[in-house]
Amino acid sequence: MLKTLLITGGAGFIGSHVVRLFVNKYPNYKIINLDALTYAGNLENLKDIDQKSNYVFEKGDITDENYIFDLFKKYDFDGVIHLAAESHVDRSISNPLEFLKTNIFGTVTLLNAAKEIWKDHFDNKRFYHVSTDEVYGSLDNGGFFTETTAYDPKSPYSASKAGSDHFVRAYANTYNLPIVISNCSNNYGPNQFPEKLIPLFINNIQNNKPLPVYGKGENIRDWLYVVDHARAIDDVYHKGKTGETYNIGGFNEWKNIDLIKVICKTMDEKLGREAGTSEKLITYVTDRAGHDLRYAIDATKITKDLGWKPSLQFEEGISKTIDWYLENEEWLKNVTSGAYQEYYDEMYDKRD
């Protein structure tokens, strides 16, 4: 049976991997990718699949209520996988309202359309919100986030994602909207915008630019290869229980400075530079305001209930990722020109 599925934010980093996986794996689905193409959205990410007959791109804004209602009427979606968001913590510190608007107002706009258009036939519908582990706040050196950890968001980004999670659950409780949520740890891999730690540092090493390490580099993140996240999203969408939350993580914690040293060493080897060359670029800069110390996911539930686990070891994932950025200089050049470059210079000047 033909299923019509809306994926929001499909031109972004994670969304593009999700769209690719669904378009290739489910030829009998019609995949509608809705994206506003902000600085973070790039259709080049999908050039290998955009001619497929089961793929449609719609340029539009999730905060535009009339447009979203019309889109739901036009396609009669069976399900929604909602990824569109403002996603970078540093940007949320400079511009919290943008995060409130896209992440909360935009999510509620989609929820409203789903509630209204689906209202007499919720059976077999599904609204899936893709969220972050940052909603749980910050851990010290012990313990893990589980699905029952109390929300304690600490940055404007995580507060906006926590707010959107709450709205999704409120629509399930109040209107019986069939929802599912997942909260994932830090992703890395091809097509990530070079403002996030890993692609930013790969790009800077390649261009012999300083590597701005916030604070002492002691913060810890749990890294997951983006394709493994896309596989988890496939599992949650198809096998997850309505109303449930699933935590997704890499079982792969790294202190920033240790991770950065691995990137430096691997880049030296791949670029044929003398050992230690890239590490010399490390520059300790003023810490991020309110910088969460540690994120770590306990992903037992999704492993036990849905049979998902990461497929790629970190060493292999980081090596593949670096290779991709080295082979896709043009992509990096395109996304780092223009508007982003101005933003980057502004942020970077502040860090010096």
Contact (CB, 8 A) for 189 and 150: no
The 144-183 site mask, x for binding ligand NAD (CB under 6 A), equals -----------------x----------------------
Q: Are the C-beta atoms of 189 and 43 separated by less than 8 Å?
A: no
Distance CA 332, CA 314 (A): 23
Q: Which of 6, 19, 85, 197 binds ligand NAD (CB under 6 A)?
A: 85
Sketch the per residue contact string, 243 through 272, with ligand TYD: x for CB under 6 A, - otherwise.
-------------x----------------
Select the span of 167-175, 184-192, 272-280, 310-318 touching ligand NAD (CB under 6 A): 184-192
Q: What is the 3-state secondary structure (H, E, C) of 279-336?
A: HHHEEEECCCCCCCCECCECCHHHHHHHCCCCCCCHHHHHHHHHHHHHHCHHHHHHHC
Q: Which of 35, 133, 165, 228 is catalytic?
A: 133
Taking contact as CB under 6 A, which single stretch among the options 29-37, 45-53, 211-219, 334-342 is the one that binds ligand TYD?
A: 211-219
Under DSSP, the state recorded for 64 is -
Q: Could you tell me if 218 and 140 are in contact, meaning their C-beta atoms sit under 8 angstroms apart? A: no
Angle at 111 between CA 109 and CA 113, to 5 degrees: 70
CB closer to ligand TYD, 45 vs 187: 187
How is residue 151 written in tokens? 């929300």
Asked if 197 touches ligand TYD (CB under 6 A), the answer is yes
Task: Compute how many other C-beta atoms are within 10 angstroms of the C-beta atom of residue 3.
Answer: 15
Please pick, from the candidates 17, 82, 126, 221, the single residue that binds ligand TYD as defined by CB under 6 A: 221
Q: How far is the CB of 123 from ligand TYD (least distance, A)?
A: 37
Catalytic site includes residue 157 = yes
Cα→Cα distances 57→32, 168, 211, Å: 6, 25, 36
Least distance (Å) between residue 62 CB and ligand NAD: 4
What sign for the dihedral angle of Cα 111, 116, 120, 125? negative
What x/- string results for residues 150 through 189 when contact with ligand TYD is judged by CB under 6 A? ------------------------------------x---
Sites of contact with ligand NAD (CB under 6 A): 8-9, 11-15, 35-38, 40-41, 61-63, 83-85, 87, 102, 106, 130-132, 161, 184, 186-187, 193
